[in-house]
Amino acid sequence: MPYFDAASSAPLHPVARQALQASLDEGWADPARLYREGRRARLLLDAAREAAAEAIGCRPDELTFAPSGTHAVHLAIAGATAGRRRAGSRVVVSAVEHSSVLHGAGEAAVTVPVDRHGRVDAAAFAGELAKGPGGGPGEGTALACLQSANHEVGTEQPVGEVAEACRAAGVPLLVDAAQSLGWGAVPDGWSLLTASAHKWGGPAGVGLLAVRKGVRFAPRGPADERESGRSPGFENLPAIVAAAASLRAVRAEAAGEAVRLRGLVDRIRTRVPEVVPDVEVVGDPVRRLPHLVTFSCLYVDGEALLHELDRAGFSVSSGSSCTSSTLTPSHVLRAMGVLSEGNVRVSLPSGTTASEVERFLDVLPEVVSSVRERLGAPGVGGTVRGVGGQEVGAVGVGSEGPGSEGPGAEGSDSEGSDSEVLVLDALGKLCPIPVIELAKVIEDVRIGGVVRVLSDDEAARLDIPAWCAMRGQEYLGEEEVEGGVGYGVRRVV
């Protein structure tokens, strides 16, 4: 059964397994003790630190082992902002940072937007660094955070350019390198760096935190004498040894494997839009991780799609609101402004074969078609039913139902007073039903007429504009209405 979710957690590398088993026998003692067993454990810990530091590109005494990548991120943000509290409290981040970074920064976060590929503009980032607490010129930025590559769409960020801007502004830069460290070194210029072993094939429960000498850093929270006082508690030495050994191993294999997997991902990026109608491939097509591709399918329930792919033997993940307990689309897809419904992230682990990818491409069209058919998507037929089996389709022309003054309302400035307006009440319907209903009724409106979709589904804010772009229709904007939001769409073709 092909496992295509390496971005979440890569399978344990054989070198990690061997190192873990060996160090369970040799590395169980306290490395802080002076007796024989303790000295042996200390030698293993020091060797692991040196190996990991070499891969990162830092000094061994700059590297701290933490219980997880998330823990390392929180330690980094808390320590760096505390150390620079006199400089200010702002934490400048990209809008697509990992949730651990956004949670760690909290209310101090100031977000820099990204383009539709998910890439931040280095000049815009630099401009934000120069702003003070009130948004005007002046000091006030304690820390900048920028991922090396995005976890959901694989887009690589301009770390080198942003690092130079941070140096000029005198602001330390924290780089989340969790997704990219196994593929190569991060461009120089960072001040702090974090990573997580399970992302490259090491064991879960090992995070890396590197803090350059000279960076102001004041550890927060519980403390003891271990790990330079930055990450308290007894080190999980067998897991640390396995993490360092596997990092060295995957980096030795990275160049060749990156070329091979990039070819397989290119195959997916090219073939999916050819074999599956109404698909948007997202993320930067060139400046991206070699093993990761993300695409979104119109008129598809993301949860049903992932279940069907699982039944077909493929393990993938999604940023779709249809697969989330919060019923809100991924903050990454939202920041990019791309289609969120039916989102699939494919991230290939090392060793993935061309035959496995071809089998995925053979299975995908039938899986998507079957999900669309169950939902009654356009061109398939059948009654459209949403989550829980409810029928949809309450439609009226010039309706005076909920939100009649929103976008697309008769007489509004957005379409002119003589335009035909068809009001589509999709309140209470979940992704992807509002877009399916819109697609079904757009043909009932003459060219130049307007459909006004009433929806309380958070994903509609992304998916309706995305549908308009994919279908060549004009998106008129949104407006608050009673019980939700009204989205105006003018039929152009």
Residue 58 falls in the annotated catalytic set = no
- Choice among 58, 145, 166, 322 that is catalytic: 322
Closest CA to 454 of 428, 432, 431, 475: 428
Residue 388: count of CB within 10 angstroms of its CB: 8
Distance CA 268, CA 346 (A): 9
User: Active-site residues: which are they?
Assistant: 322
